[in-house]
Structure 1
Amino acid sequence: MTLLPWSHPSSAGFTLRGWHSAPSGKPLLHFIHGNGFCCRTYEPMLAQLAEHFDLWLCDMQGHGESEHGGAFVGWNRNAELAVEAFTAGRGIFGEVPRYACGHSFGGVLSSLILAEHPELFQRAVLLDPVLFPRRQLLLRHMLGWLLRNPMAEGARNRRRHWPDREAVFERFQGRGIFRGWETAALQAHIQHALRDEPGQGVVLRCEPGREAEVFESWPRGLWQALGRIRTSVRLIHGDHTYPFVRQSAARLAAANAHVSVEQLPGGHCFMQEHSQLTAQRVRAFLLAGE
């Protein structure tokens, strides 16, 4: 899979970057990654999808190749910046069918885009999107910083430097969020989500503080936006994902007839555990209308 870099000086004052495949006339797939990752973390799955789609991969603020950009500008603003960059760059692909896909944080951003720009994509797949329940969002809004946030605390305490990528592989393999990942998926993450730093070995591209800022914030008007989606959406979650993801998926499908739910084996990062199966299911749904 050959990817070409793109960059976009955003209206927020920082540069968004990412990758795209060479235009071939195939349908175009827009992809956004999960918090703390980058788009090329998902290369095993994306390489299989590239046989059927041209790819537009967007690294969000402070992730992957994109600039840190100061304070986190929020979920909704990042979704709009992704649209801004895509609108500026997608002309090279011509008028082909356009589809959206995103994982976790990226799945939520993709859903916000679908709600605000119903004409942009014909179909979409959300991979284990972290659709916070209404009650949790209300508590966050009312109590904010008084609530303990273990995910943010863990991110802020995350180690950032290692002597080399081999040391990172030894540390990550089979642990935490990386438990069960295919070797190729873990290698892709280590290759692209870290950068070489002279005198420091390798360093996480996404600063732990940025990852924590995402965990400490939430999308505005999420469930109102989800109710406005009129694009055909398949929400796929793992059978061992977070309970709230499964519950929110069922609630959304019951409330919005444009959304259907599918379950695959694995946890929150099931697409990194079963890249071939996930690519097959994503492709089957997106191209079902072709």
Structure 2
Amino acid sequence: MFQSSDHPGAEVLPRADECLRADARDLQGGGRRSLAIPGTEGRLSLLEWDGPADYPDDGPALVWLHATGFHALTYRRLLIDIAAQMPVVALDLRGHGSTTLPAVPGRTRVHRVYFGDVVTVLEGLGRPAILGGHSLGCLVGFGLAGRRPDLVRGLLLAEPVLVPQRLARLFAIARAFGQADKVSRMAAGARRRRVVFPSRMAMLDSYAGRGAFRTWPAETLADYVAGGARGRPDGQVELACSPAWEAETFNALPARLWRWIGGIRCPITLLRGGQGSTCREESAARLKAMKPWTREVMRPQASHFLPQEEPELVVEEVRRLTAAVAEGRATAN
């Protein structure tokens, strides 16, 4: 879809740590590309699959946006399955994964650059787009679908960070007084993250079965480590997303979130879990009241990491949403 530099995948190498490199993960027909963003240095990294050979030229592609601290490769298995039915483009958002665009905490407007980078992708796509996202990816999706409805034909939201307006205002006030970490437990936790590990295998071992990763399949956790670690000159590895940038993203919860949602005109699918969800019943109900065509699927047993825990659900709901877009079952009022 894009004419840009290629990074062909490597063979899976015999040493376990080398098998956890991003370029050693099998993309099954996909590839990694990089894209220049006008007006800035560095490049935006993305994964891309062309979809079925007989897919119509004017059919939509899925553009997938990851959660804070993650990257596109985290969703490799999920994206490969979706690519069997349609073209897929998955970004490493600025400050994450293999993307090398500037991401300087305290000097970069977080959501402004996320929006700008994704708009560049959508405008160069050459076909309509359905935006799919997880957590942070949903926030970016809300903003783009509400502010640039011409670029978004459908919106799939997996565990969005969707808080009541009063909390969004509280975050904005806390940011203004430099107290955001006291309001956001996620940001404070991100700053305490361990950054450096002896190897990718050591990173994998430290995460396996623990904390947020305890419900993840082993292969998905390996994908997360492969794309989330980068080598250091001393032979060790470090997190590709710095704790400071991760915390900055958590603290940048948009005060105008619900205003953006007001501008959405495309079909919406909302997927949420019942365990520690970032989209509680109050917020889901408000979204459906504002956008009555929203399809909600709630899985009581799932957590905030629903795409990792129930990838088959996400694949099926992308199929449903794509059919709704094709049939023109949206929605504007």
| Length, aligned pairs only | 285
* 1:234/1:260 contact within 8 Å kept: yes
Partner of 1:121: 152
**What is the distance in 2 between the residues matched to 1:213 and 1:12?**
20
What is the CA-CA distance between 1:51 and the residue it aligns to?
0.5
* 121-130 vs 258-267, greater mean Cα deviation: 258-267
1:285 is displaced (CA, Å) by: 2.7
Structure 1 range deviating more: 251-260 or 154-163: 251-260
Which position in structure 2 is the counterpart of 1:131?
162
In structure 2, the CA distance between the partners of 1:244 and 1:125, relative to structure 1 (3 Å rule), is: closer
Which segments of 5 or more consecutive residues in structure 2 lack a partner in the other structure? 1-27, 327-333
Deviation, 1:289, is: 4.2
Q: CA deviation at 1:175?
A: 1.7
- Give the one of 171, 176, 185 matched to 1:140: 171
Report what 1:53 is aligned to.
86
| Distance in 1 between residues matched to 2:322 and 2:38, nearest whole Å | 29
Q: What TM-score, normalized by structure 2, do the two folds share?
A: 0.79
Aligned residue runs from structure 1 range 196-211, under 5 A: 196-211=231-246
- Aligned to 1:99, the other structure's residue is in SS state strand
Deviates more, 1:64-73 or 1:5-14: 5-14
Higher RCO (Cα < 8 Å, 6 or more apart) = 1
- Asked whether the 8 Å contact 2:160–2:279 carries over to 1, the reply is no
Q: Determine the C-alpha separation between the residues in 2 that align with 1:161 and 1:257.
A: 47
Residue 82 of structure 1 deviates from its aligned partner by 0.8
Pick the structure with greater CA Rg. Answer: 2
Q: Which runs of 5+ in 1 are unaligned?
A: none
Q: Is the 8 A contact 2:115 2:143 kept in 1?
A: yes
User: 1:83-135 CA distances to partner (integer Å, 9 max, x unpaired)?
Assistant: 123313x13xxx4x531101100011011111112122222201111012211
Q: Aligned-pair distance for 1:250?
A: 2.0
Tell whether the 8 Å contact from 2:274 to 2:303 is kept in structure 1 after alignment: yes
In the alignment, structure 1 residue 108 sits paired with structure 2 residue 139? yes
The aligned counterpart of 2:220 is 185
Q: Supply the AA of the counterpart residue of 2:49.
A: S
CA offsets, 1:37-64, max 9 Å, x none?
Answer: 0011111211111101111112211011
User: Which of 273, 277, 284 is equivalent to 1:238?
Assistant: 273
What CA distance in whole angstroms lies between the structure 2 residues aligned with 1:45 and 1:241? 22
Which residue of the other structure, out of 70, 75, 78, is the alignment partner of 1:42?
75
- Does the alignment pair 1:273 with 2:309? yes
Pair 220,271 (structure 1): closer, same or farther in 2 beyond 3 Å? same
Partner residue, 1:251: 286
1:173 aligns with 2:215: no
Percent identity, please: 27
Contact kept, 8 Å, 2:270 with 2:294, in 1: the verdict is: yes
- Report the 3-state secondary structure (helix = DSSP H, G, I; strand = E; otherwise coil) of the residue aligned with 1:84: helix
Deviations 1:254-280 (A, max 9, x none): 222232321134100111012223222
Supply the distance in 2 between the matched residues of 1:286 and 1:217 (Cα, whole angstroms): 31
Q: Which of 101, 114, 121 pairs up with 1:85?
A: 121
